[in-house]
Structure 1
Amino acid sequence: MKRFLMGSALALAGGGAAHAQSSVTVFGVVDLGVQYTKGEGGGSVKALSNGGLSTSRLGFRGTEDLGGGLRAGFWLEGSLNPDTGTGRPSNSNNQASGAGTAGPIAFDRMSFVSLSHQKFGELRLGRDFIPTHYNSIYFDPFNANGVARAGNLTFAGAGTGPLPTGITGSNTASYWLPAGLGGFYGMAMIGTGENDSTAPNRDDGNFAGARFGFASGAFDIAAAVTRTHFNATAAIGNYTHANIGGSWDAGFAKFFALYNKVTVKLAAGTVRKNTAEIGAHIPAFEVGRIRVSYAYLDDRSDESLRNANGMPRNRDDARQFGIGYVHNLSKRTALYGTYARLMNGGQARYVVSGGVAPAGGRRSSGWEFGVRHLF
């Protein structure tokens, strides 16, 4: 990371009257690999993969000490596609109508301004990850990245992919508890779709959520929930995502568990999906770790929701197994390899990240080998 101290510039701008210390940090990740994925009945793809270990990104963050324990700050962080030299799209209003397209760099991950106090916590205004996604990051052995990420199943909303507020939210205000609460931590967030009050969908994209947890020594556990309003259609409706996860570092291995419950109230009935995952990190060769996980999705949707062949969607269950190895060449550079196999039931068409969707009820699999560098 490269740090630029701004105090002298502030002093010049303020004629020597600046009293606060400010700093700006430029940071990022470049993560690329080779990948092969196959969807039975749907073909296969050989590709240069992106973000198999950590999401490629470019970011800027800064803070200013205002005195008395009060600090101002900002955070701008955008996903990168270094294989093509582009950025990833953002979403302006938490709805399908606000979806952008890949192209110039957009700060799709985080873009907020903040005020914080060491005793009273932090207030953020802008774009951020939603509460439930923080559990996906911390309690998935694959950190919500790569072909074996739990998100291949847990991100599923009405279909096999995430809804607009499944990962990040725009136009948000959030409050974060201060550190030093004896291991307790948490945050609450609201967001708005910013629709005209006279529009039929005036509440679409509005959401609220919270996450609270406790960490002490080797243990960490947290629960979260987020609820988004959408007028009910065949593809979207009021969306509730709740999860609970935890980790335990036993020394010889670090264990993870994550349980997700998703509900989407469509016009024709309610989608209900419960997903459980367990996994571990196992130290290896002094500078490496083996990563393993197993996840199961249980679809409990209403009988009124049917697939194209008439089969009830509540038979569309899925299982996924993932295994990988990370070898640290230094504190900033690592080599990695991952394999994932996803078994669909019924007419489910869940797919490993970056893969081709299989035929209904068929398998999806993939492997990737890559290098990640932090700066």
Structure 2
Amino acid sequence: MKKSLLALAALSAFATAAQAQSSVQVYGILDMGYASESKTATTAAAAAQGTTTKAKAVGASEGLSGSRLGFRGTEDLGGGLTAGFTYELGLNVGESTAAHSVRQSLLSLSDKNLGTLSFGRGNTLGKNTNDGFTAFGGGGDFEQGSVTLEITRGEEQGEAVSKKIKPIVDRNSNQVTYVSPSFSGVTVSAQLYAKSSDKDAAANTGKDETSGTAFQLAYAGNGITAAYTRSQLDTEVEAAAAVAATCTGVATPVGCNNGTAAVSASKTEITLDQFGATYTMGAIKAFGLYNSAKYKASATAAEDQNKGYDIGATYTMGKTTLLASIGDGEIKTAAGVVTDVKGMQAQVRYELSKRTTAYALYGKTEFEGTNKGESDVSMIGIRHSF
């Protein structure tokens, strides 16, 4: 009897210890297909205005989602407290020699009553908003047809003002994020990202500091999701004097330097306001996103201003989902040059299984005004999750 009780106690202790251990999950996505892409340059910054470039590829990737390999795990610390981590690599599955990128590298602590605090590299709240309320979800390599993505990222046309705004809607390192518990469907999120390098101004380039904050108020319930997000990002460079070169004409002996040019003080400011919402009613889901972004090259400079919206809907019939969206907006430089932006997207998805989806998509963005051009893509592919 005593032996049985001792065995039962030992088994119980082992089960408790095993429950407290970390659980680690390996996951990933592979997304590949055939794509045909065409771009007509809007400005001479990208190429001569009106120049058209075309690309076709078998094995093109990231139609729906960026390919990735990730590891995540949690550990129950007791008392409602949980530790967790995520480490996720971006994969370029079409190129055998391409280096992997780090998409996420996060360590978190969660409390069921207090919320979640995470540190490291991950999505900004601005990127989460873009991804959560647009047609293609922002997860793929192609952004043609999404006005809200194009005016804040400038990926497809390389538009100068939009590319300046991109850091606020991308992944960032050196950040900390807090997400509150849900209060009747309402959650509050706050984010801080900061990096400062203070060098010797007499020998290098002075102080370079980047700091940003983001705040989000979101609601989910009764078939509705909605969010307002405000993000700010400042980059400041301290002035530094020029440093003369030493050992002029000598190959690179010890103790010599090539000198550095003088660095002027500068400060850039980015502000982004986003309003997004979805409504699900049976097989139909409507969605919309409005972005308003401002960029200042200095504290006293005039602002570049980008604004626009995307609206659309999905309709699911069994294993098939149809999607369509349209968008409109404008890009306005500090000099007052205005470019109108229009976009449309269409997509069909078919679930071959719970983890494998076949799809076909089309997206087109048009730029009209002083700068004119267009960008479109067609793609068929398969996405597999594991």
Bin of the TM-score, shorter chain as denominator length: 0.7 to 0.9
Partner of 1:279: 312
Partner of 1:155: 153
CA distance in structure 2 between the aligned counterparts of 1:114 and 1:131, rounded to whole angstroms? 16
Larger-gyration structure (1/2): 2
Offset from partner CA, 1:201-236 (integer Å, 9 cap, x none): 746321111111011121000011111112499x98
Offset from partner CA, 1:148-206 (integer Å, 9 cap, x none): 46223342485343533331111111111124x21011211101123217667746321
**Is 1:323 matched with 2:332?**
no
Change (3 A) 1:169 1:83: same
CA distance in structure 2 between the aligned counterparts of 1:18 and 1:370, rounded to whole angstroms? 42
Partner of 2:227: 222
Partner of 1:266: 297
> What's the CA shift for 1:19?
7.1
Partner of 1:294: 326
Alignment match of 2:99 (pick from 96, 104, 107):
104
Offset from partner CA, 1:328-372 (integer Å, 9 cap, x none): 101100111111121111244xxxxxxxxxxxx022211011100
Change (3 A) 1:18 1:323: closer
CA distance in structure 2 between the aligned counterparts of 1:217 and 1:176, rounded to whole angstroms? 21
CA distance in structure 2 between the aligned counterparts of 1:198 and 1:221, rounded to whole angstroms? 47
SS in 2 for 1:331: coil
Partner of 2:254: none
Alignment match of 1:253 (pick from 275, 284, 289):
284
SS in 2 for 1:340: strand
- What percent identity do the matched residue pairs reach? 28
SS in 2 for 1:194: strand
Offset from partner CA, 1:301-331 (integer Å, 9 cap, x none): 33xx2xxxxxx42x21210111111111011
- Asked whether the 8 Å contact 2:325–2:346 carries over to 1, the reply is yes
- Asked whether the 8 Å contact 1:148–1:338 carries over to 2, the reply is no
Change (3 A) 1:115 1:171: same
Alignment match of 1:135 (pick from 114, 129, 134):
129
Change (3 A) 1:136 1:326: same
**Is 1:183 matched with 2:185?**
yes
Letter in 2 for 1:363: E
Letter in 2 for 1:69: G
Partner of 1:52: 63
- Asked whether the 8 Å contact 2:210–2:236 carries over to 1, the reply is no
Partner of 1:335: 358
TM-score normalised by L of structure 2: 0.77
Structure 2's unaligned 5+ residue stretches are 1-13, 41-50, 238-263
Letter in 2 for 1:117: D
CA distance in structure 1 between the aligned counterparts of 2:352 and 2:143, rounded to whole angstroms? 22
Offset from partner CA, 1:20-50 (integer Å, 9 cap, x none): 2321000000001111111233221112421
Structure 1's unaligned 5+ residue stretches are 1-13, 87-102, 306-311, 349-360
Letter in 2 for 1:338: L
CA distance in structure 1 between the aligned counterparts of 2:186 and 2:382, rounded to whole angstroms? 35
Change (3 A) 1:84 1:236: farther
> What's the CA shift for 1:252?
3.8
Task: Identify which range, 328-337 or 17-26, moves more after superposition.
Answer: 17-26
**Is 1:115 matched with 2:88?**
no
Partner of 1:11: none
CA distance in structure 2 between the aligned counterparts of 1:128 and 1:104, rounded to whole angstroms? 19
Larger fraction in helix: 2
SS in 2 for 1:104: coil
RMSD of the TM alignment (CA)? Answer: 2.6
Partner of 1:33: 33
> How many residue pairs were aligned?
321
- Asked whether the 8 Å contact 1:158–1:264 carries over to 2, the reply is no
